[in-house]
Chain A
């Protein structure tokens, strides 16, 4: 690896720490900023003011913010995410129960969006004036304007309820059930991010198509799939990876909606429930996990780009 790329990798890794610290601070501040008193929620409507104060004390919510921050970080370093205010269950258990669903959904969504976006991008880039490209472009416009919850509802109503081939919701019990139950949610979330991915990849490919090295390759008689594979995709890949990382973040938040729509017991659905019940430890833990996932995905994408593109340097 060249010195420039190594410098990039080190610099990018170092950049993670301040972002991480900011994330932790935000997570701790979250409960100060969110409306709604968790102590009141736990104590119940009949509780006296003194009882609410007692609960607040037991939860440590009456401690100075820096003390809460320090304690939070200390617990995290020991792998302790805390326990749910509502159920008393360790948050690691809650996350363990639910993360599988969200991971299935994200991978399914990425797979669907990539499988649909790449052919569309190639068509629009290589045959921009063709009828197929025009249809594709209009279809993308329509899809991008359809809200995911509506798409999910329609898919469930038409493809699942109408035919009985697929479950309308839930996560199933065995592997086969789960694969079947993830088809529609993956399609929903995949369709939500696919248009942007397809258009961006098409634009990137179009740009590469006009590059000198492609003209040279063509003049040497390279065409068809070899041209696409060796000279187009490879050079269009770095921006596509960056976009994919951005899309992964969008997928993560899209998962919140899709999990609700299909009644999937994932982290997104848990986040909504916890927030509505002011279960702050769970909200904090999930915010941290979502934040870490986004930081991690973007870091990996940048490192992948550095690996693929020798021109990458740290500036």
Chain B
């Protein structure tokens, strides 16, 4: 499931799923607005195989503590409130799930479950829990706890639809959990590695839900030492974690600092050891050897189109907009070159990211010709709404508006407060808006699901093709089948442009030499239990 980043609002931080472009907020945000841009630099981290970026080698050492800055706090501990990327990243540190994402961004690895088996015929996934698992309070972790957790996931108001294939569970013994599905959903297995599929004690250990998620207990590598919402989260090593070696750190502190300049000052003064998401504008302030770019991230940056009303309802108009945007110029102006032109409408570098071989062409004359075929009447104002909170998003809006005006579209750039923007988008009270969506799991399916759930990112176009493709993707048993389902969707997006993909932006972590063992996935997840102090 996607996340948007409105945030980057100010930061670009983990960029949270801010639709706001990227500070905070909200889900809805999730769709909205933009990313963070600017100028920046080159690689600082070491790229491994295909995908993940890792920092460092060497023999891990036990002990010590690290302080990490993030621009937005978690959405709380309740899994169904997860919106910001920081939440998906943090919840499993305390409440680990059955599986977790591999650092390559595509695979899944054992979590509390040491193994699993997908039975396509029986439409079941059978998980075997590790032996001797306990929650941080000493209570044993059993399949009953896992089954209770699965039920929580399914009933989630916000994310429950992504578990729609699950019909029930069985617990033949304390270490075996069988998840029953109405189809052999490979997507479900991969999706279970996202940060909100966490395991909690059955019946919340006797507490009510609200009370439990105020002081959560899990079987993850850390326990909550203290949490001041909006300020600071301090995690201490869980001495009962199943891996006796890990986590290496005794303490991990997340400081929430919304102001990017303050973030930079704290990092430069070594009050902090790492920044989860540096606004690309400020990349130049980070020493080159301390930059860890995620290039590109599993994020789609583009123009969202209201296709429910004119002129966006005319596909020729949408194509004209797409042709008008010089992606290379846009990326240079907005992201300082720290992005790649979008080659599809679904996020790159996760399971199922295959594109369609389609080309998002550019050209003023072609755009003008396409515009001439549309019902657009010259002089008609076209509202382009952007998040006003960050220089990045407003700059992006100015660039797009300028390129649209160059082909004769009278773009009316409106810089709005993030929530106003979200409201207008949801009410269909806009023509064009700038926004981003990002994956939060190692599968393209979560964005797929979001597109379906939101009617093509609020475009208003019928999503039958995408919905059908998603169904095929869900049950794809091979990479080829998965690729075929994605190609169908990508081709439909290219041909119909419910939104106009423009770039796959980078994300940037600032990482001091003190931080070792960091591996970041394309969707910005990193296993904190691997971190150690150098």
List chain A positions with a Cβ less than 8 A from chain B.
34-37, 40-47, 51, 55, 84, 86-89, 94, 97-98, 153, 156-157, 160-161, 164, 167-170, 260-263, 265, 269-270, 272-273, 276-278
Contact = CB atoms under 8 A, between A and B. Distances in A.
A278 B27 CA distance: 11
Contacts of B271: 167-170
A97 B228 contact: yes
B265 A88 contact: no
A169 B266 contact: yes
B265 A156 contact: yes
B28 A40 contact: yes
Given A36-B420, A160-B269, A260-B259, A45 B453 contact: yes
28 contacts: A35-B417, A35-B420, A36-B419, A37-B426, A44-B157, A45-B4, A45-B28, A46-B1, A46-B449, A46-B454, A47-B157, A55-B157, A86-B229, A87-B229, A98-B231, A161-B265, A164-B269, A169-B265, A170-B255, A263-B262, A265-B228, A270-B230, A272-B258, A273-B258, A276-B20, A276-B418, A277-B26, A278-B419
Interface of B: 1, 4, 9, 20, 23-31, 73, 75-76, 78, 80-81, 83, 157-159, 161, 210, 213-214, 228-232, 255, 257-259, 261-263, 265-266, 268-269, 271, 417-420, 422-423, 426, 449-450, 453-454
Given A41-B419, A51-B157, A273-B230, 6 more contacts: A43-B157, A87-B229, A88-B76, A169-B265, A170-B266, A278-B419
A269 B27 contact: no
A265 B450 CA distance: 34
Contact of B25 (A51, A84, A277): A277
Contact of A168 (B228, B231, B265): B265
A41 B32 CA distance: 13
Contact of A41 (B27, B161, B230): B27
Point out which of A55, A263, A269, A272 has the most chain B C-beta atoms below 10 A from its C-beta: A263
Contacts, number: 136
B230 to A, nearest CB: 5
Contacts of A36: 419-420, 422-423
B7 to A, nearest CB: 9
Contacts of B420: 35-36
A264 to B, nearest CB: 9
B230 A265 contact: yes
Given A36-B423, A45-B454, A46-B159, A263 B24 contact: no
A156 B257 CA distance: 15
Contacts of B23: 276
Contacts of B258: 260, 263, 269, 272-273
Given A47-B158, A269-B258, A276 B419 contact: yes
A261 B10 CA distance: 12
Nearest to A83: B210
A273 B31 CA distance: 19
A97 B231 CA distance: 10
Contacts of A55: 157
A170 to B, nearest CB: 6
A46 B161 contact: yes
Nearest to B261: A153
A226 to B, nearest CB: 48
A44 B3 CA distance: 11
A34 B419 CA distance: 9
Contacts of B261: 153, 261
Contacts of B25: 41, 276-278
A87 B76 contact: yes
A45 B27 contact: yes
Nearest to A43: B157
Nearest to B31: A45
A36 B454 CA distance: 18
A88 B213 contact: yes
A260 B257 CA distance: 8
A261 B258 CA distance: 9
Contact of B423 (A35, A43, A153): A35
A157 B268 CA distance: 10
B230 A44 contact: no
Residue among B31, B262, B417, B453 facing the most chain A CB atoms (10 A cut-off): B262
A34 B261 CA distance: 28
Contacts of A86: 75-76, 81, 229
A5 B158 CA distance: 61
Contacts of A34: 419
A276 B210 CA distance: 23
B265 A160 contact: yes
Contacts of B76: 86-88
A260 B426 CA distance: 30
Nearest to B268: A161
- In the complex, the 10 A-B pairs of residues with the closest C-beta atoms, listed nearest first: A36-B419, A44-B158, A168-B265, A265-B231, A46-B453, A263-B262, A35-B420, A263-B257, A45-B27, A87-B229
A276 B24 contact: yes
A262 B81 CA distance: 29
Contacts of B4: 45
A125 B439 CA distance: 65
Contacts of A47: 157-158
Contacts of A87: 76, 229
Contact of A35 (B83, B230, B419): B419
B229 A89 contact: yes
A140 B377 CA distance: 55
Contacts of B422: 36, 40
A192 B472 CA distance: 62
Contact of B257 (A157, A169, A278): A169
Contacts of A153: 261
